[in-house]
Amino acid sequence: MKILITIVLVVSTFSLQAQEKYMLQDDSTLKINGTSTIHDWTVAAEQLSGKLTADGQSPKSIELDVVVEGIKSERGPTMDNKMYDALKKDEHPKINFTLKEVKSSSVLVGTLSIAGQSDNVEIPVALDHTGDNIKLSGKYGIALADFGIEPPTAMFGQIVVGEKVEVEFALNFSK
């Protein structure tokens, strides 16, 4: 029995040591591209935080947070405030992605939480693991209705945001 316990402890120790921890770097980018009845638009997330644990070449856990108030548009505070209201910033100040599994080397399965609603998602990614760095990049379409988000409007309803947006990301994690 002592031998069995010793073997389990040794194997557990090696398994824990094999997982490496990475932190999201400041050069990471996340943009949201959308449309409206007047023009296309892009907003950029300026406040991201995240951590990743990898076992060899494959991510085992990812936690990514985007501060809603840190998402900024080129059009100024009026558009920003309409976006914050749609995202329910006061009640839900962060957008979160949590990895559940790696479906293949190019698909991450996880839970995406926006505006207080969560949905299981499969996000296609390009994964580049070089030295002490892991880069995840890709694009993912989101239907606002899937998260209970009413598309924002302006000018008494004359300008309406499209029902879908595309998230474009390049996330750089380093040890």
Give residue 62's pLDDT.
Answer: 98
- Distance separating alpha carbons of residues 80 and 84, to the nearest angstrom: 6
Whole-Å CA distances, 13 to 81, 114, 126:
49, 37, 31
Give residue 8's pLDDT.
Answer: 44
Q: Is residue 157 a part of any domain in this protein?
A: yes
Going by pLDDT thresholds of 50, 70 and 90, the confidence category of residue 3 is low
Q: pTM higher than 0.75 for the full model?
A: yes
**More reliable by pLDDT, 113 or 2:** 113
Following DSSP, what letter does each residue of the chain receive, concatenated? -HHHHHHHHHHHHHHHHHEEEEEE-TT-EEEEEE-BSS--EEEEE--EEEEEEEETTEEEEEEEEEEGGGEEETT-HHHHHHHHHHTTTTT--EEEEEEEEEEETTEEEEEEEETTEEEEEEEE-EEEEETTEEEEEEEEEEEGGGGTPPPPEETTTTEEB-SEEEEEEEEEEE-
Give residue 146's pLDDT.
Answer: 95
Length of the chain: 175
- Distance separating alpha carbons of residues 32 and 165, to the nearest angstrom: 7
**Contact predicate 165/32, CB 8 Å:** yes
**Contact predicate 133/172, CB 8 Å:** yes
Q: Is residue 8 a part of any domain in this protein?
A: no
Number of separate domains in the chain: 1
Full domain range(s) for residue 133: 20-174
Q: Is residue 37 a part of any domain in this protein?
A: yes
Q: Is residue 12 a part of any domain in this protein?
A: no
Asked whether residue 7 carries a pLDDT value surpassing 50, the answer given is no
Span 89-143, pLDDT tens digits: 999 999 999 999 999 879 999 999 999 999 999 999 999 999 999 999 999 999 9
Going by pLDDT thresholds of 50, 70 and 90, the confidence category of residue 155 is confident
Q: Is residue 165 a part of any domain in this protein?
A: yes
Give residue 68's pLDDT.
Answer: 98
Give residue 13's pLDDT.
Answer: 44
Q: Is residue 9 a part of any domain in this protein?
A: no
Going by pLDDT thresholds of 50, 70 and 90, the confidence category of residue 152 is confident
Dihedral angle over CA of 151, 115, 113, 148, nearest 10: -50
**More reliable by pLDDT, 1 or 111:** 111
Asked whether residue 70 carries a pLDDT value surpassing 90, the answer given is yes
Span 22-55, pLDDT tens digits: 999 999 999 999 998 888 999 999 999 999 999 9
**Contact predicate 59/34, CB 8 Å:** no
The alpha-carbon radius of gyration of the chain (Å, integer) is 19
Q: What is the CATH number of the domain that holds 55?
A: 2.40.128.110
Going by pLDDT thresholds of 50, 70 and 90, the confidence category of residue 159 is confident
Q: Is residue 29 a part of any domain in this protein?
A: yes
Q: Is residue 5 a part of any domain in this protein?
A: no
